């Protein structure tokens, strides 16, 4: 007789194992497939969301603006560009990610914001970058992640102090050498993203500036995650505004 367990102890062990196995059989036979499926889902690894597009590993810069009125939401645009750049750099996207602040000096010199930049000049040589591609080349980038803030709005209700925000963006990846769109190629509208917020009651921890900051962070996170695989359970996909 093995010396590892006394007889009574081995009997209890066998009985327990039989009970567990019997329970699993009962679950399987009496509608237990659903229960077992739920258990398997609970303990399975969280799903991974693949990148929408993987940029080439070459110098990359992020340029964010509101093309309809570049001076509108300029501070938000600069903050979003910085957040996206830092996120992509942390995930090894691009090669390397250039500092988006390099574009600020060139911004006042630009006379246009065309995404699909023609290489030809129709007038005398410009004094500075005139297209997104030109802007990218001016700072040494081979590609530009271009974000157009098509809507950035914070509004208050008429009858109360509650506030609501919404930011919409279109995203492209532009070849800085040719001005051609690398992604997306199946639409001229870019890849669109929207971050709305519910109506919120301002308080000590939330005013319009704080709401805008949270909107910037939320849209930046969604933009960055277009370009790398991410774990869906590690990211709060709901409204970031509390």
Q: What is the mean pLDDT of the chain?
A: 77
Query: What average pLDDT does the segment 62-91 reach?
Result: 93
Distance CA 15, CA 228 (A): 50
Distance CA 56, CA 99 (A): 17
Q: 51-231 maps to which CATH number?
A: 3.40.50.10610
Task: Report how far apart, in Å, the C-alpha atoms of 119 and of each of 22, 94, 176 are.
Answer: 74, 24, 10
**pLDDT-derived band of residue 238, with 50, 70 and 90 as boundaries?**
very low
Q: What is the DSSP letter of 98?
A: P
| Tally of CA atoms within 13 A in the half-sphere of 46 that contains its CB | 8
The SS3 call for residue 198 is: coil
Residue 50 has pLDDT above 80, yes or no: yes
Q: What is the pLDDT of residue 65?
A: 93
Q: What is the pLDDT of residue 72?
A: 83
Peptide bond into 113 cis (omega under 30): no
Whether the CB-CB separation of 63 and 134 falls below 8 Å is answered with no
Residue 30 has pLDDT above 70, yes or no: no
Whether the CB-CB separation of 106 and 129 falls below 8 Å is answered with yes
pTM of the full predicted structure? 0.72
Residue 11 has pLDDT above 50, yes or no: no
Query: What phi-psi label fits residue 94: left (phi over 0), alpha (psi between -120 and 50 degrees) or beta?
Result: left
Share of the chain above pLDDT 70, in %: 65
């196995």: which residue's tokens? 21
Q: How many CB atoms lie within 10 A of CB 164?
A: 16
Q: What is the pLDDT of residue 91?
A: 95
Model confidence pLDDT, tens digit, residues 141-191: 999 999 999 999 988 776 767 888 999 999 999 999 999 999 999 999 999
Share of the chain above pLDDT 90, in %: 47
The SS3 call for residue 128 is: coil
| Tally of CA atoms within 13 A in the half-sphere of 189 that contains its CB | 6
Q: What is the pLDDT of residue 35?
A: 55
Q: What is the pLDDT of residue 96?
A: 94
| Residue ranges matching CATH 3.40.50.10610 in the chain | 51-231
Which residues face 61 on adjacent strands?
Answer: 144
Model confidence pLDDT, tens digit, residues 99-110: 999 988 766 444
């Amino acid at each position: 007789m093995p010396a590892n367990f006394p007889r009574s102890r081995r009997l209890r062990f066998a009985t327990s194992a039989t009970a567990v196995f019997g329970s699993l059989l009962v679950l399987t036979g009496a509608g237990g497939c659903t229960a077992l499926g739920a258990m398997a889902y609970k303990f399975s690894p969280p799903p991974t969301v693949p990148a929408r597009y993987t940029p080439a590993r070459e110098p990359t810069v992020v340029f964010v603006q509101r093309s309809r009125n570049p001076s509108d939401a300029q501070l938000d645009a600069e903050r979003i560009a910085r957040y996206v750049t830092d996120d992509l750099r942390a995930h090894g996207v691009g090669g390397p990610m250039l500092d988006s602040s390099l574009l600020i000096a060139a911004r006042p010199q630009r006379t246009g914001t065309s995404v699909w930049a023609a290489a030809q000049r129709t007038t005398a040589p410009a004094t500075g970058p005139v297209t997104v591609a030109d802007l990218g080349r001016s700072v040494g980038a081979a590609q530009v992640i271009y974000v157009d803030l098509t809507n950035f709005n914070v509004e208050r209700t008429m009858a109360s102090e509650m506030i609501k925000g919404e930011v919409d963006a279109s995203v492209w990846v532009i070849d800085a050498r040719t001005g051609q769109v690398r992604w997306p190629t199946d639409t001229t509208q870019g890849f669109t993203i929207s971050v709305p917020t519910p109506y919120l009651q301002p308080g000590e921890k939330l005013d319009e500036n704080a709401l805008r900051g949270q909107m910037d962070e939320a849209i930046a996170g969604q933009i960055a995650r277009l370009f790398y695989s991410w774990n869906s359970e590690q990211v709060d996909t709901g409204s970031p505004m509390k």
